[in-house]
Structure 1
Amino acid sequence: MTFSLAGRCTETGRIGFAVATSSVCVGARVGAITEGCVVFSQARTDPRLHAVGIAAWQGGKDAAETLSAMREAATAPHWRQLGILTSAGAPLHYTGASCLDHCGGLEGANSLALGNFLGSADVLPEMVRGFEEATGSLEERLQAGMLAGEAAGSEREPLQSASLKVLGSEGLMDADIRVDFSTHPLKDLGVLWLDWAPKAAAYRLRAIDPDKAPSSAEVEGRPA
């Protein structure tokens, strides 16, 4: 009961993903990212499979081997939905036979949409279209794809949570935003993004060169 979207930016080399579902706290359960690779484990989710996928990717940088390792590690794989998007090459995905319709995966030129228990067969194509046709930052394009999927049918049950993660350079997340419980999680995710976006560079500087970083008061616009 989840739909997710991984994407890459050919101009910056960044990769990331967004996800929404009809249960709470999806950001704690679906999706992981490391340098060069996004992995998904969803449907009847086993978050431990993310660690399996990340380890396999780091060991060989091979997407097919990464997906195979996750499938082999899965208990009752017929209930699992898995996906891989790397910084180069075609996305890969797997949907077990017990996952609820509408379900499956769809590859774009620089994206992968994955979903189950969807409200219509148009959700995945609209997610890919929304991402591939959008302009702006990777974070904005991922949100555009998710909103397009929501408009095309979303899930069969009301959404309750959403998450957005984008990995930048030097191992630092450029965005790591969660809405754990909301009646409009994708809308609220967008509000959080608008607040975070102008502050992201300052918090990145804190990690890289803290002597040059502005104070929290300056970043947040509070009196010193």
Structure 2
Amino acid sequence: MTFSLAGRCSQTGRIGFTVATSSVCVGARVGAIADGCVVFSQARTDPRLHAVGITAWQRTQDAAETLAAMREAATSPHWRQLGILTAEGTPLHHTGASCLDHCGGLEGANSLALGNFLGSADVLPEMIRAFEQASGSLEDRLQAGMLAGEAAGSEREPLQSAALKVLGAEGLMDADLRVDFSTDPLKDLGVLWTDWAPKAAAYRLRAIDPDSAPSSAEVEGRPAQA
């Protein structure tokens, strides 16, 4: 009961994903990013499979072998939805026979959409279309894809949580945002992104060069402490 979208930016090479579901805390359970790839484990989710996928990717640098390792490690793979998108744009996926319709995966030129228990067969195509046609940052394009999927049918039950994660340079996340419990999680995720986007560079600088970084009060627009 989840739909997710991984994407890459062909200009910058950045990769990331976003996900929403009708249960709480999806950001704790679905999706992981490492240098060079995004992996998904969803439907009847086993978050341990993310580590299996990341380890396989780091060892092989091969999308097919990574997906095969996740499937082999999965208990009852007929309940699992698995996916990988690499920074080179290679998308692969698996949807088990017991996943609830509408379900499946769809590959774009620079994206991968997965979903199960969807409200219509149009959800995944609309996610890919909107992502591939959108302009702006990778974060903006991922959110455009999710909103298009929501408008095309979403899930059969009301959404409760969502997450957005994009990996940047030096192994730091450019975005790592979660809405764990909400009646409109994709809208609330957009509000979080609007707040975070102008602050992200400053917090990156705090990690890389703290001597040159602004104070948190400056970043957050609070009065400086006396």
Structure 2 length normalisation: TM-score? 0.99
Counterpart of 1:167 in structure 2 is: 167
For 1:182 and 1:5, locate their aligned partners in 2 and report how far apart those are by CA, in whole Å: 20
| CA distance, structure 2, for counterparts of residue 46 and residue 81 of structure 1 | 10
Match of 1:16, SS? strand
Q: What SS does the corresponding residue of 1:99 show, helix, strand or coil?
A: coil
**C-alpha displacement of 1:89:** 4.0
Structure 2 residue aligned with 1:143: 143
Matched, 1:120 2:129: no
Distance 2:71 2:12 in 1: 31
The one-letter code matched in structure 2 to 1:169 is A
- Identity across the alignment (%): 88
Q: Secondary structure at the match of 1:68?
A: helix
Corresponding residue number in structure 2 for 1:200: 200
2:219 corresponds to: 219
Distance 1:102 1:36 in 2: 30
Residue aligned with 1:146, SS? helix
CA distance in 1, matches of 2:96, 2:44: 10
Question: Which stretches in structure 2 are left out of the alignment for 5+ residues?
Answer: none
Cα distance in structure 2, aligned partners of 1:158 and 1:144: 19
Q: CA deviation at 1:184?
A: 0.1
Q: What secondary structure sits across from 1:38 in the alignment? A: strand
Which runs of 5 or more residues in structure 1 are unaligned? none
- Tell me the TM-score normalised to structure 1 length: 1.00
Give, in angstroms, the shift of residue 26 of structure 1.
0.0
1:2 and 2:2 correspond = yes
User: Per the alignment, in what secondary structure is the counterpart of residue 193 of structure 1?
Assistant: helix
Displaced runs of 4 or more, over 4 A: none
C-alpha distance in 2 between matches for 1:141 and 1:81: 23
1:78 and 2:78 are equivalent in the alignment = yes
In 2, distance between residues paired with 1:152 and 1:130? 11
Task: Show the counterpart of 2:99.
Answer: 99
The structural deviation recorded for 1:60 is 1.0
* Aligned equivalents of 1:70, 1:49: Cα separation in 2: 6
Q: Which residue of 2 aligns with 1:189?
A: 189
Local SS of the residue matching 1:131: helix
Q: Measure the CA separation in 2 of the matches of 1:174 and 1:113.
A: 21
In the other structure, the counterpart of 2:157 is 157
Partner deviation per Cα, 1:188-217 (whole Å, 9 max, x = no partner): 000000000000000000010000000000
Matches within 5 A, 1:36-55: 36-55=36-55
Mapped partners of 1:56, 1:169: distance in 2: 22
Q: Deviations over 1:105-148 (max 9, x none)?
A: 00000000000000000000000001000000000000000000
Q: Which residue number corresponds to residue 17 of structure 2?
A: 17
Q: Deviations over 1:18-49 (max 9, x none)?
A: 00000000000000000110000000000000
Q: Which moved more, 1:87-96 or 1:196-205?
A: 87-96
What is the Cα deviation at residue 90 of structure 1?
A: 2.6
Equivalent residue letter for 2:199: K
- In the aligned structure 1, how far is the partner of 2:218 from the partner of 2:152? 41
Contact 2:17 2:142 in 1 (8 A): yes
